Amino acid sequence: MSKLDKLLEKYTADLKAVGDKVDAKLLRAVAKSCGPAIYRRDASLVAAADKKELDRVKKNFLIGKCGLKDTPKLDDGIAAVKKTYSKRSKYRVVFYYLLAKQFKKGAALKK
């Protein structure tokens, strides 16, 4: 089993814990879009209490990767995902996956 597959198992467990029916293709696509950062402890987590971190999530993932426009809806979506994924240590891939589903951008990432 590869390192990526082991991480995907962790991510799947977290998603099931929040009641999500996991789309394995989307989860793998999101993980690959994060690149090697998922293998570094600090970079693999989202500091959801840090405003600068959430701004980076919005700019780099939602606007950059998903192609969304910068509107207040993005902040509302991030707040909704924070509420849903209330675990203290939030995996970046799981956070991004939930955002992609929130904004219905799964097809764009699966390309």
Alpha-carbon gap, residue 61 to 68, rounded angstroms: 9
Whole-number average pLDDT of the chain: 94
64-106 pLDDT, tens per residue? Answer: 999 999 999 999 999 999 999 999 999 999 999 999 999 999 8
pLDDT at 109: 81
The mean pLDDT value for 51-63 works out to 96
Return the HEC string of 23-92: CHHHHHHHHHHHHHHHHCCCCCEECCCCHHHHHHHHHHHHHHHCCCCCCHHHHHHHHHHHHHCCCCCEEH
**CA 103 to the chain's CA centroid:** 12
The residue whose two tokens read 């991004």 is 96
